[in-house]
Amino acid sequence: MRPIIGITSYVLPASWGVWTDLPTALVPHDYTEAVRLAGGRAVLLPPDDLDADVLDRIDGLVLAGGPDLEPSLYGQDRGPHTVTHPDRDAAELLLLRAALDRDLPVLGVCRGMQLLTVAAGGSLHQHLPDVLGHEKHRPGPGVYGSQLAVLDPGSRIAALMGEDLTINCFHHQGVADPGSLTVTGRAADGLPEVVEDPERRFVLGVQWHPEVSRDHRFFGALVAAASKELTQACADR
């Protein structure tokens, strides 16, 4: 059996065939294909803040990228560059907190890393150019910034990355305070690019987009952790 990996999804207007601008639950295919190539079975999780019961039926969770988090979640007023989807915030925080309670394997990508940070009591910079004085983390519309990560020796991320430290990021917000999480990787300008929770089996957040290159290092590690979750669940039955 392949482990089932839930992927949080956007709800945005989309068009296909004769249909135009229909509200649609979607994620870029890169996410689902990265999970499939790593040996998992991807399912989409549209925003739903009624309960977290779906966690009974999945073995791992991917917090996908997307819009900014509502700043009130970390004690700030909304800045002029911040664009939020509060319905997604509420649904994903419910799922994430329940997943952490269960020690379910979690991979946070870009916004997903920021969600992990906020759930851990941390905070964000709302617009990095105001803090860093440059736009290397989001060079332009639809253009990924290519950088080299600086990783902590002995960390999970260092073991996964090996010698290839190139990251492809697209974000205008970033982690200011990681809360209870551990920062294990940074960009050259010092901005946190990786957070981990060493107290849990597999909780990893990266500020870049490994799904774009179908990076087996990350999705393979998630699927491996989820496979152990599945094996344990079958044994418990």
Residue located via tokens 């977290």: 52
Nearest CA among 138, 151, 143, 225 for reference residue 192: 151
Q: How far apart are the C-alpha atoms of 148 and 63, rounded to whole Å?
A: 23
Catalytic member of 125, 193, 209, 229: 209
Write down the H helix ranges in the chain: 29-37, 86-102, 111-119, 128-132, 156-161, 216-236
Q: How far apart are the C-alpha atoms of 182 and 197, rounded to whole Å?
A: 6
Q: How far apart are the C-alpha atoms of 162 and 151, rounded to whole Å?
A: 10
Nearest CA among 107, 103, 126, 93 for reference residue 38: 107
Query: Is 70 one of the catalytic residues?
Result: no
Contact by Cβ (8 Å): 214, 29: no
Query: Is 234 one of the catalytic residues?
Result: no
Q: How far apart are the C-alpha atoms of 231 and 88, rounded to whole Å?
A: 31
**Residue 133 burial (CB count, 10 A):** 8
Q: How far apart are the C-alpha atoms of 132 and 93, rounded to whole Å?
A: 28
Catalytic member of 110, 137, 171, 196: 110
Give the start-end residues of each E strand in 17-101: 19-26, 41-45, 60-63
Query: Is 134 one of the catalytic residues?
Result: no
Name the residues annotated as catalytic.
110, 209, 211
